[in-house]
Structure 1
Amino acid sequence: MEKREYMLLALSHINRVGRTVLRAARKLDEAVDFSRCSVQDIQKMLAVSPKVAEKIRMEFSLRDAVSRVQRWQAEGIGLLTQCSSEYPALLREIPDPPEVLYIIGNKTLLHQPSFAIIGTRKPTAYGKTVARQMARELAERGVTIVSGMARGIDGEAHRGALAGGGSTIAVLGCGVNIVYPPENRALAMEIRQKGLIVSEYPPGMEPQRGFFPERNRIISGLSQGVLVVEAASRSGSLITADLAIDQGRDVFAIPGSIHSPKSAGSHWLIQQGAKLTQTIQDILNEYPMLVSGVNKSVACTDDHGLLSLTPEEEIVLAAVGWEAVSYEEILCRTSFSSSYLHYLLLSLQVKQQVIQLPGPAFVRIKNRNDV
């Protein structure tokens, strides 16, 4: 780290010093030891009030900043400032990027093709399945999945990416060494080992209500686009979607039941212009370069390049005819439970083997193997 970065770090640990002050400090021609400056000089350099300038003069310490960095490095925690060439280019483009990023894990993921998957903290079984399936399919193609490691859809997105042998980035509303929610401890450990954890809040900082809306701009800022799986009409996911639009990112949404309040927000996004998404191809069609230069092969493909099916999926596919078959009829023709059949049918839709019709009913899709 260079001296200017230590300067920014020292400032960031002073109460009442926010991103505006840090941005002004970063734009200075050289690093400044504010503890040796007069209040008037600090006011001129950072455009702060006399009271804040005095606080900076009294509390600024480059020595403490160096000590913090050494302690964090020993714990496996790194940091990036906007002065660093390793700071993610996509995030630098947004209107209000964080001046300091704390990280644990593989920081090279900050420069890989990435896509955000977000949604409600209280999803339906349908929402969980879709989130995990979408994340897995994208991860298998070399796309890094970004989410917030919250309960519900976020956690399923991370798990899907890891299950697909891919990478994932978790953006936290607390310090990178704090696990929140606590039940995601095992998931957090796996992301540390196989992915990346990111936060703009210093290590040890406990989660606070106001931190989560702020961290949402980083989730969308690190991503080429954002997929909303399930969101109620007053969901925090809609905040992220709005931020994504402000940042010039595309928004995609998974449709759900018209009777489900958990999909009301998703449907509203679609009405406002978000792309209705049924398979990952709906996403990839918008980004021909998203998987360019990365792993385009999918481990679970057959000799014809189509997604291979599990034995259970083969059974369900055989029960679905070339004419519409009701869900109840498929249930009668197979020995699976209703919840598991629902999962298998969804998987077959993602693999573009069947489509769902009103009713609900299902029908097979003719592909080149059937010609």
Structure 2
Amino acid sequence: MDDMDDLRAWLIALRTPGLGPCGLRERLDAGEGDIGRVVARLQNRAAALDEPARAWLAQPDEERLATDLAWLAEPGHRLLRCTEADFPPQLENIPQPPAALFVSGDASRLLYSQVAIVGARSASAGGLAHARAFAHALAQAGFAITSGMADGIDGAAHAAALDAGAATLAVIGTGPDRVYPRKHHALARRIAAHGVLVSEFPPGTPARADHFPRRNRIIAGLSLGTLVIEAGLRSGSLITARLAAEQGREVFALPGSIHNPLARGCHRLIRDGARLVESAVEIIETLAPAARMLGHELAARLQAETGGEATGRPVAKSGPRSGSRGGASDSGDHSSSDEDPAYRRLLTELGHEPATLDELVQRTGYSAAALGSMLLMLELEARIESLPGNRYQRLPDDG
């Protein structure tokens, strides 16, 4: 099956009414990942399906499929399938993991170490200021900022990450060709150009109330931790926080005035066990072990997949830049990276003069995604520091 036939089969399956991501994944497992075989079996056994599914499989809407394929043919657009090596592994263990994602932008950014920042759409001026400050600090510390591109806290966090020259990811509740709310058209273009827009809904899908809780499980699933800034007691941000906790991820909440209705959701989260935070440093220190573990896993994965030599295929990344030096490191023991050939090579190629990420890609042959993860880990170990202009410099060895 060529790539166009493969894409067409995926689109038919994704648009089959009532199938859903879990049903599709189960059939992919049974069909050994062959989407053509899955669609053929669905069509052959359509009698067991509901009438809408039978009608669709018997005669798919060719105009709709052509529209989907035209969107995917545009530069920077992609259908990222769960059968592909660079599908984000952090989504595999969440409830109802997506079978595929429509991506606009650099799909490798889905593999970065991420912090979700969510909160009220009708946020106060103070809440928006907090969102911008936390997003900027976390971005400078090497984390990508993930949110839902909603009005209020989400939009402020995305914009602050972009202004910091860092990556940001927007998981949206519409098709990838729709912008909701409409006022965020310019923001969506910036995110697609310098980050990534993600949706599990096919092109043309409008905003619907039930889409946003589904979107929230992906926001929580992609992120090492979720920070809630201003949320009422009925806020959708509490759904994201609950999903993050259920997925075993860290949940952080910013406290507020007892007279502010938008602080009540955060206070409830804190009573229920979320971490009360007052600064980004607290989040960075809490998530540093997870980021270091991710760095080890990615280095091992890099070596396993390349036999000790790197390829240009994206593996994973923890962030395009780092700003906080030793605060996140819990010891001066460098044995973890010293014993790893990939890290030794990176430090050798870095030398003792500042180098940009692009220069390190050329010197090592490693992908930018893999290098970003390794650089963050080295910074958490106080082996290197980041400089303006996406440059990195080796620090003197204390030993």
TM-score range, shorter chain: 0.7 to 0.9
- What one-letter code is carried by the residue in structure 1 that aligns with 2:165? G
The answer (yes or no) to whether the contact 2:144–2:168 under 8 Å persists in 1 is yes
Structure 1 segment 181-220 matched on structure 2, within 5 A: 181-220=181-220
**Equivalent residue for 1:16, pick from 2, 15, 18:** 18
Aligned amino acid, residue 259 of structure 1: H
Map of 1:145 onto structure 2: 145
Q: How far apart, in 2, do the equivalents of 1:171 and 1:53 lie? A: 27
| Alpha carbons 1:213, 1:236 under 8 Å: kept | yes
SS of equivalent residue, structure 1 residue 83: coil
Distance 1:38 1:212 in 2: 28
Matched, 1:296 2:322: yes
The aligned residue for residue 121 of structure 2 is: 121
Question: Could you tell me which residue of structure 1 aligns to residue 45 of structure 2?
Answer: 41
Change (3 A) 1:162 1:16: same
Q: Distance in 2 between matches of 1:254 and 1:142?
A: 21
Distance 1:254 1:171, change over 3 A: same
Q: The residue matched to 1:149 in structure 2 has which SS?
A: coil
State the Cα distance separating 1:186 from its structure 2 match.
1.2
8 Å CA contact 1:7–1:62 kept in 2: the answer is no
Which amino acid in the other structure matches residue 323 of structure 2?
A: S
Structure 1 residue 149 displacement after superposition = 0.4
Asked if 1:176 is matched to 2:180, the reply is no
**Which has the higher mean CA deviation after the structures are superposed, 161-170 or 51-60?**
51-60
Closer, same or farther: CA 38–143 of 1 in aligned 2, 3 Å: closer
Return closer, same or farther for 1:154/1:31 CA change in 2, 3 Å cut-off.
closer
Give TM-score scaled by structure 1 length.
0.73
2 CA distance for matches of 1:261 and 1:64? 44
SS of equivalent residue, structure 1 residue 245: helix
C-alpha separation in 2, matches of 1:38 and 1:179: 33
- Report the 3-state secondary structure (helix = DSSP H, G, I; strand = E; otherwise coil) of the residue aligned with 1:287: helix
For the 8 Å contact 2:174–2:199, the answer to whether it is kept is: yes
Q: Match of 1:285, SS?
A: helix
User: Whole-Å Cα distance in 2 between the matches of residues 198 and 187 of structure 1?
Assistant: 14
More helix by share: 2
Cross-structure match for 2:28: 26
Alpha-carbon distance between aligned partners in 2 of 1:135 and 1:115, rounded to the nearest angstrom: 9
- The answer to whether the 8 Å contact 1:143/1:291 transfers is no
Shift in alpha-carbon separation, 1:64–1:286, aligned structure 2, 3 A: same
Structure 2 CA distance for aligned equivalents of residues 164 and 36 of structure 1: 48
Contact 2:12/2:57 (<8 A) preserved? no
Quick check: which has more Rg, 1 or 2?
1
Residue in 2 that maps onto 1:224: 224
The 2-side partners of 1:182 and 1:120 are apart by: 17
Q: 2:71, 2:60 → 1: CA distance?
A: 18
Q: Which amino acid aligns with 1:97?
A: P
Alignment of 1:253-292 (within 5 A): 253-289=253-289
Aligned to 1:163: 163
> Are 2:68 and 2:203, in contact at CA under 8 Å, matched by a contact in 1?
no
Tell me, yes or no, if the aligned pair for 2:225 and 2:287 is still in contact at 8 Å: no
Q: Alpha-carbon deviation of 1:59?
A: 3.0
Work out whether residues 216 and 240 of structure 2, in 8 Å CA contact, stay in contact via their aligned partners in 1: yes
- In the other structure, the counterpart of 2:100 is 100
Sequence identity of aligned pairs in percent? 37
Q: How many residues align?
A: 295
SS in 2 for 1:234: coil
What SS is found at the alignment partner of 2:288? coil
Q: 1:72 to 1:141 in 2, by over 3 A?
A: same
2:213 corresponds to which letter in structure 1? P
Task: Report SS of the residue matched to 1:288.
Answer: helix
**Counterpart residue number, 2:77:** 77
Query: What is the identity, as a one-letter code, of the residue corresponding to 1:297?
Result: G
Unaligned runs of 5+ in 1: 300-371
* Whole-angstrom CA distance in 2 between matches of 1:36 and 1:97: 23
Separation in structure 2 between the aligned mates of residue 197 and residue 64 of structure 1, nearest angstrom: 21
What is the SS of the residue equivalent to 1:23? helix
Offset, 1:175: 1.1
TM-score normalised according to structure 2 size: 0.68
Give the superposition deviation at 1:3: 6.1
- Cα RMSD of the aligned pairs, angstroms, is 2.7
Moved more, 202-211 or 285-294: 285-294
The offset of 1:123, in angstroms, is 0.7
Matching residue's letter, 1:282: E
CA drift at 1:164: 1.4
Post-superposition shift, 1:201? 0.5
Compute the displacement of 1:42 (Å): 4.5
Q: Which amino acid aligns with 1:137?
A: A
Q: CA deviation at 1:273?
A: 0.7
Secondary structure class of the residue paired with 1:96: coil
Change (3 A) 1:38 1:158: closer
Give the C-alpha shift of residue 132 in structure 1. Answer: 0.6
- The answer to whether the 8 Å contact 1:4/1:83 transfers is no
